[in-house]
């Protein structure tokens, strides 16, 4: 009992650092979720382009980012760019790397949702004289976004989990602070169990919100 | 040092990358299959346990589970070798995701076939191995490919527990030559190549065992 108390005491003593780490995790996960969604919409738009070269290069982009590990991209920027005299902060590098990667996944969710749209709607719209831009923003996007909610929110949960790799490029997030904590009190098992529980809680909140969003924005039949 | 020389040095780590990936895929495949089949028994306390397993392993970051296993278990007297630590973290995470894929695919098997088999006097285990599992595996192919790809892409984290795979070779090479740009670019290309080869092999197996006219879900 006193041992558990001492462990809690350690965590409370280290509280401010852990809290700042948690905030950094939330900032990073929040930022990349927003930028990843916006970039994902852009990539999805490019997959619908009339220009074959654009369509092909977009497909290559998606396949490349789905086929290579994100950490390699982060290391490329973190250890490679200074060679050309470009120095970005770990946060900037994480945001750029994650955004490029998440965009590829989100565009795939949107494409899958797009395939479920009744193509007659698009024909009807162009017969009515809608420009391709209007068709995209008024007809395609609202429906694909709604249909893609499960995939897109699942990506947000993944973003929270994956943001934990940012400590490898010296971004001081929640996981980094907990590792520091573990190396101070040597209670690796307990500290990492608590760390896991906190991530599980965050992910659970996203899943809960996702279910709410899904019912709220379901397309009525 | 040319780009090709860099690639050839990094390729030494590729063996370990493939080893880690295969070990984790096998762990994931069998644990996922076991979980999906146990779920099929529909025993309530067991169902809760299986739900808890999939929920936990899908909700916690790989690195946290990896560090918990690799640094945490030795502190209670259970030293874990790096490869086993990867199998217990990445492998079981893959298993948690795959069990959901398998469960969905099992439900897609036509129940009339099971009834027909029963009336022909087939035993439960025969129905499972001769009718349910063969169809389920074919239904699961796209989901499995997805999860296997994910395993490959998370395999570089094995370097954090000291497995000398591609990323490990790259970090030491980058430290000595300070040419991070070319080195990590080569790493990216190498992973993409492995990904392509793995995908082609998977699709080949899928085609090899395809049944003409068998409808996919």
Query: What pLDDT is attached to residue B215?
Result: 62
The DSSP call for residue B89 is I
Contacts of B76 in chain A (CB under 8 A): 189
**Average of per-residue pLDDT across B110-130:** 91
**Cβ pairs bridging A and B (under 8 Å):** 122
The per-residue pLDDT of chain B, averaged, comes to 90
A156 confidence band (pLDDT: 50, 70, 90): very high
Residue A108 has pLDDT above 70, yes or no: yes
Whether residue B133 is contained in a domain is answered as yes
Within a domain: residue B216? no
Give B126 to chain A, closest Cα distance, Å. 37
Q: Tell me the torsion sign for CA atoms B51, B55, B57, B58.
A: positive
d(CA B14, CA B102): 30
Residue B47 lies in a domain: yes
- Rounded to an integer, the average pLDDT of B157-185 is 88
Is the full-model pTM beyond 0.90?
A: no
Question: Quick one: average pLDDT of A112-121?
Answer: 89
pLDDT for the residue numbered A43: 95
| Cβ proximity of A29 and A159 under 8 Å | yes
**Does A2 score more than 70 pLDDT?**
no
Query: Domain range for residue B200?
Result: 3-208
**Residue-wise pLDDT tens digits, A9-20:** 777 777 888 888
Task: Identify whether B38 is part of a domain.
Answer: yes
Q: Chain A contacts of B183, Cβ < 8 Å?
A: 80
Number of domains, chain B: 1
Residue B216's pLDDT band (boundaries 50, 70, 90)? Answer: low
Of B55, B181, B188, the CB nearest to A68: B188
Q: CA–CA separation, A150 vs A147, rounded Å?
A: 8
Chain A residue closest to B184 (CA)? A76
Residue B183 and residue A195: Cβ atoms within 8 Å?
no
Confidence of residue A83 (pLDDT cuts 50, 70, 90): confident
- Encode pLDDT of B4-25 as tens digits: 888 888 888 899 999 999 999 9
Measured in Å, how far apart are chain A's first and last C-alpha atoms? Answer: 57
Residue B213 placed within a domain: no
Query: Are residues B91 and B23 in contact, defined by beta-carbon separation less than 8 angstroms?
Result: yes
Token digits of residue A15? 């509280």
Q: What is the pLDDT of residue A204?
A: 94
The minimum CA-CA distance between B14 and chain A, rounded to whole Å, is: 14
**Residues of chain B with C-beta less than 8 angstroms from the C-beta of A68:** 153, 188, 191-192, 195
CATH classification at residue B154: 1.10.3720.10
Are residues A69 and B155, on separate chains, in Cβ contact within 8 Å?
yes
Identify the band that residue B175 occupies on the pLDDT scale cut at 50, 70 and 90.
Answer: confident
**Which pair of tokens denotes residue B94?**
């893959």
Domains of chain A with bracketed CATH: 2-216 (1.10.3720.10)
pLDDT tens digit sequence for B54-64: 999 999 999 99
Q: How far is CA A138 from the centre of its chain?
A: 25
Q: Are B212 and B192 in contact (CB under 8 A)?
A: no
B60 to A199: CB separation less than 8 angstroms, yes or no: yes
Neighbours of B164 (CB within 10 A): 16
Enumerate residues 99 to 118 of chain B having a beta carbon within 8 A of any beta carbon in chain A.
none
Q: Is residue B181 part of a domain?
A: yes
B202 touches chain A (CB under 8 A): no
Q: Which two tokens stand for residue A169?
A: 């490029």
Average pLDDT of the residues in B143-150: 92
């Amino acid at each position: 009992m006193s041992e558990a108390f001492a462990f809690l005491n350690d965590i409370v003593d280290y509280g401010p650092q852990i809290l700042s780490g948690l905030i950094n995790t939330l900032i990073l996960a929040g930022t990349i979720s927003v930028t990843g969604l916006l970039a994902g919409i852009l990539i999805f738009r490019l997959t619908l382009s009339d220009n074959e070269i654009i369509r092909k290069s977009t497909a290559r982009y998606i396949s490349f980012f789905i086929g290579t590990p994100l950490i390699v991209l982060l290391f490329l920027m973190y250890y490679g760019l200074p060679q050309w005299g470009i120095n970005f902060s770990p946060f900037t590098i994480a945001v750029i790397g994650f955004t490029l990667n998440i965009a590829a996944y989100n565009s795939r969710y949107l494409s899958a949702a797009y395939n479920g749209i009744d193509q007659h709607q698009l024909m009807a719209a162009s017969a009515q004289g809608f420009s391709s831009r209007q068709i995209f923003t008024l007809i395609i996007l609202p429906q694909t976004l709604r249909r893609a909610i499960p995939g897109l929110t699942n990506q947000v949960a993944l973003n929270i989990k994956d943001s934990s790799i940012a400590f490898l490029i010296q971004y001081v997030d929640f996981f980094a602070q907990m590792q520091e904590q573990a190396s101070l009190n040597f209670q690796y098992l307990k500290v990492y169990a608590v760390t896991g529980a906190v991530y599980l809680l965050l992910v659970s909140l996203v899943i809960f919100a996702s279910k709410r969003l899904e019912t709220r924005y379901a397309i009525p039949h | 040092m040319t780009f090709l020389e860099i690639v050839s040095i990094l390729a030494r780590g590729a063996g370990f990358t493939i080893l880690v990936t295969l070990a984790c895929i096998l762990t994931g495949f069998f644990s996922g299959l076991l979980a999906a089949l146990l779920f099929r028994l529909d025993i309530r306390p067991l169902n809760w346990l299986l739900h808890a397993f999939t929920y936990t392993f899908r909700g916690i970051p790989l690195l946290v589970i990896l560090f918990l296993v690799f640094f945490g278990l030795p502190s209670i007297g259970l030293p874990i070798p790096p490869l086993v630590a990867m199998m217990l973290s990445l492998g079981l995470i893959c298993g948690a995701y795959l069990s959901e894929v398998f469960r969905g695919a099992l439900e897609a098997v036509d129940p009339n076939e099971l009834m027909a088999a029963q009336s022909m006097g087939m035993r439960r285990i025969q129905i499972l191995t001769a009718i349910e599992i063969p169809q389920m595996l074919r239904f699961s192919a796209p989901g499995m490919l997805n999860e296997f790809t994910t395993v490959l892409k998370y395999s570089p984290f094995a370097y954090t527990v000291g497995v000398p795979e591609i990323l490990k070779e790259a970090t030491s090479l980058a430290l000595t030559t300070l040419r991070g740009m070319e080195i990590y670019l080569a790493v990216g290309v190498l992973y993409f190549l492995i990904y392509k080869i793995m995908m082609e092999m998977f699709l080949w197996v899928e085609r090899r065992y395809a049944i003409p006219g068998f409808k996919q879900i």
